[in-house]
Amino acid sequence: MNIKIVSGKSEGKTLVSAFDLALAKAGINNYNLQYLSSIIPKGAEVIEVDKYDNPERKVGDIVNVVIAKKSSDEPKKWISCGIAWLQAEEGGILVEESCEGRAKEVEKLLREGAEDMMSIRDWNWNTEIKMKTMEHKVENKACVVVAAVYGY
C-alpha cells in the first residue's frame, strides 16, 4: 500500500467553497473523504506528490484520508496546517495539526505530537520525523489543507 501526501490552499466566496477549492488543488475534491485515525500500516510507503491522481478512482468513490485543515475569514491572518509522519518496523503514525499562525508554529505542534505518540509505542522507530505543511495569509475567506491519501 502507498499513502500519498498532498496539499492545497485557496480563497473562496465562502469557507466551504474555499475548503472545496483547496481540496481541488490537492486533487481530492471529487471523492467522498472518509477520515481515518493516524496509523500507518506495516510496510506502507509514504510519498509526497504535488497532486493526487488515480485514474482507477471515479467521482464519488470513498477515499480514506488523514487530513489537517484550517479555515478563516479574518483578513490578514495567517493560517497553517500540516501532517507529520514517522515509521517503524511495526507500522507508523501520522500527526495532523492546524493553527492560526505561520507554518513554523504548526511544525512545533507536529513535533510535540509525534514525540507523545511515539512515547506510548514500544516500536523500533526510524527517528526521522517527516513533515508537510501549508500556510496562507487570508485575503477574504481561505482554507489550507494537507492530506494523507490511502491507496490500496
Domain extent listing, the chain: 2-151
pLDDT band at 152 (very low <50, low <70, confident <90, very high): low
- The whole-angstrom separation of Cα 139 and Cα 90 is 44
pLDDT band at 101 (very low <50, low <70, confident <90, very high): very high
Percent of the chain surpassing pLDDT 90: 95
Query: Above 80 in pLDDT, residue 127?
Result: no
Q: Measuring CA to CA, which residue among 47, 3, 1, 6 is closest to residue 28?
A: 6
Average pLDDT over residues 32-57: 95
**CA distances to 14, 69, 131, 141 from 149, in Å:** 25, 14, 15, 25
Average pLDDT over residues 44-48: 96
| The pLDDT of residue 130 | 97
Average pLDDT over residues 119-148: 95
| The pLDDT of residue 2 | 94
Q: Residue 22: phi, psi to the nearest 5?
A: -65, -40
- The whole-angstrom separation of Cα 128 and Cα 135 is 22
Which grid cell sits at 15? 469557507
Helix (H, G, I), strand (E, B) or coil at 121: coil
Residue 91 host element (H or E): strand 91-100
What topology is assigned to 2-151 in CATH? Pyruvoyl-Dependent Histidine Decarboxylase; Chain B (3.50.20)
If one counts every other C-beta atom within 10 angstroms of the C-beta of residue 121, the result is: 15
Contact 69, 29 (CB under 8 A): no
| The pLDDT of residue 126 | 83
Strand pairing class (142-151; 39-40): unpaired
Average pLDDT over residues 15-33: 98
Contact 79, 135 (CB under 8 A): yes
Contact 146, 83 (CB under 8 A): yes
**pTM: predicted TM-score of the whole model, two decimal places:** 0.94
